[in-house]
């Protein structure tokens, strides 16, 4: 069954069961135009059926709303020429206007002939977001457990004798020659620096639950933005893109402020050699996002409130991109590698998620929180 749309092409009705498919699915006609799409595709691609039908998925008319890498044209051509089902792994869908805020999603794309519809191709998208969330969530939980163990050991074994070393150096410096006094002052200074580092490590040993209550995430983001603008990010453009309709989140305001401030500081430090440095603070609602299912919650806990902290710096070093939430992993020469590990612990304690997507010119940390 077909009907002619106002655009002058034939829209396709794929038949019973099409709308019930749990995965995003589309049918492209022989010219590569979208001839059908199910409800799941509308939601996942954030595209309305009326504005998409009759347009090429990779065409210029869609470029402001959807960009696909790598392009699907070669895959579709191979399906048409071979009349066989093929697939393309790890396809990135950049959804939304780049200037007005967008999000990246990845999927495994299955393509095959659309049955009796001559020259048409069916696309089935298998989202990879959940697998990515599961992998990063496992890494976050592992980092938190490792960090807590490190804190208990290091704080006990190092901090106490270090106080004795610092006290001895201060006594020596009181009666030493100018040259020796300089050395003693250096020992005291370095000892203080190590104590400061250990105090940061000790925070991992705090197993008390966060003080969860309804909070406005924009209050947190504005506090962080103002602090950064008058301090460490004075020369960096900070853009705020908030969804004013966002409901309250269930979170600890102080801890969430610490997390966001840490991420913004990291972004600022990554932009020291970037022309026109910029940081974007963004909030939005994603009703489809949930924690990966487990025995306690087979459906997966909804995490619809999203915070993104984005910078236009060089991106994470590829060698550590998959390990940034592990303790003592740092991309900076003098970095301790504890900041993001602490961030991961706090977010894990919230029953929430944190993920990172990084490439040269764009690094985005996304925090997904439950609704109050």
CA 269 to chain centre: 18
Q: How many CA atoms lie within 13 A of 326 on its CB side?
A: 10
Residue 249: CB partners within 8 Å, gap ≥ 6?
214, 215, 216, 217, 256, 305, 369, 370, 371, 372
The predicted structure's pLDDT at residue 214: 96
Q: Contact 251/303 with Cβ under 8 angstroms?
A: no
The three-class DSSP label of residue 247 is: coil
Task: Among 3.55.50.30, 3.30.450.20, 3.30.70.260, 3.40.50.800, name the CATH number for the domain at 18-128.
Answer: 3.30.450.20
Q: What is the pLDDT of residues 72-129, one digit of tens each?
A: 888 888 888 877 778 777 788 888 776 656 778 888 888 888 766 667 888 988 887 5
Higher pLDDT, 202 or 246: 246
Domain 213-369 falls under CATH 3.20.20.150: no
Per residue in 153-168, pLDDT (tens digit) is 666 677 677 778 888 8
pTM (predicted TM-score): 0.54
What mean pLDDT is reported for the chain? 79
Least confident of 20-34, 171-185, 193-207: 193-207
Higher-confidence residue: 42 or 11?
42
Residue 261 · residue 227 · CB < 8 Å? yes
- Distance of alpha carbon 62 from alpha carbon 81, whole angstroms: 25
Instruction: Report domain extents, the chain.
Output: 18-128, 147-205, 213-369
pLDDT at 200: 63
Question: What does the pLDDT read at residue 6?
Answer: 43
Give me the pLDDT at residue 80, please: 84
Each residue of 36-51: pLDDT tens digit? Answer: 888 888 888 888 888 8
Q: What is the distance between the alpha carbons of residues 203 and 72, in angstroms, rounded to a whole number? A: 48
336-362 burial: b if 16+ Cβ within 10 Å, else e: ebbbbbbbbbbbbbbbbbbbbbbeeee
Question: Higher pLDDT residue, 9 or 288?
Answer: 288
Alpha carbon 147 to its chain centroid, in Å, reads 21
User: Per-residue DSSP letters for 12-39?
Assistant: E---TTTTT-SS-EEEE-TTSBEEEE-H
Measured over the CA atoms of residue 92, residue 97, residue 98 and residue 101, the dihedral's sign is: negative
Per-residue burial over 119-141, b if 16 or more Cβ lie within 10 Å, else e, is: ebbbbbbbbbbeeebeebbebbe
> What element of type H or E holds 233?
none
| Distance of alpha carbon 175 from alpha carbon 23, whole angstroms | 77
User: What values do phi and psi take at 196, rounded to 5?
Assistant: -60, -40
Pairing of strands 66-69, 121-127: unpaired
CB 127 within 8 A of CB 41: no
Banded pLDDT at 4 (limits 50, 70, 90): very low
User: What is the DSSP-derived secondary structure letter of residue 329?
Assistant: -
C-alpha 222/C-alpha 166 separation (Å) is 40
Q: Which of 182, 214, 199, 206 is nearest to 338 (CA)?
A: 199
């Amino acid at each position: 069954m077909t009907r002619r749309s106002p655009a002058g092409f034939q829209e396709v009705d794929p038949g019973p069961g099409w709308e019930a498919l749990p995965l995003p699915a589309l049918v492209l006609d022989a010219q590569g135009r979208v001839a059908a799409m199910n409800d799941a595709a509308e939601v996942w691609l954030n595209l309305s059926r009326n504005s998409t039908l009759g347009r090429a998925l990779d065409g210029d008319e869609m470029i402001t709303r959807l960009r696909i890498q790598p392009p699907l044209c070669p895959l579709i051509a191979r399906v048409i020429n071979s009349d066989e089902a093929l697939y393309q792994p790890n396809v990135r869908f950049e959804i939304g206007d780049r200037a007005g805020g967008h999000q990246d999603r990845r999927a495994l794309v299955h393509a095959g002939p659309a049955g009796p519809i001559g020259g048409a191709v069916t696309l089935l998208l298998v989202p990879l977001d959940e697998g990515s969330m599961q992998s990063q969530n496992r890494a976050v939980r592992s980092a938190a457990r490792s960090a807590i163990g490190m804190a208990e050991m290091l704080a006990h074994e190092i901090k106490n004798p270090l106080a004795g070393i610092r006290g001895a150096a201060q006594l020596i410096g009181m009666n030493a020659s100018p040259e020796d006094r300089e050395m003693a002052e250096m020992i005291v200074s370095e000892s203080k620096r190590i104590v400061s580092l250990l105090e940061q490590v000790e925070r991992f040993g705090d197993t008390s639950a966060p003080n969860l209550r309804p909070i406005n995430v924009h209050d947190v983001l504005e506090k962080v933005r103002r602090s950064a603008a008058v301090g460490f990010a004075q020369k960096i453009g900070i853009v705020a893109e908030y969804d004013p309709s966002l409901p309250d989140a269930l979170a600890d305001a102080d801890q969430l402020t610490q997390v966001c401030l840490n991420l913004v500081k990291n972004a600022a430090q990554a932009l020291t050699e970037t022309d026109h440095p910029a940081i974007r603070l963004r909030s939005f609602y994603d009703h489809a996002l949930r924690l990966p299912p487990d025995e306690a919650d087979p459906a997966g806990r909804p995490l619809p409130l999203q915070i993104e902290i984005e910078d236009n710096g060089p991106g994470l070093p590829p060698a550590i991109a998959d390990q940034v939430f592990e303790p003592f992993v740092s991309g900076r020469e003098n970095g301790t590698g504890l900041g993001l590990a602490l961030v991961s612990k706090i977010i894990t304690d919230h029953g929430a998620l944190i993920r990172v997507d990084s490439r040269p010119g764009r690094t985005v940390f996304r925090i997904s929180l439950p609704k109050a």
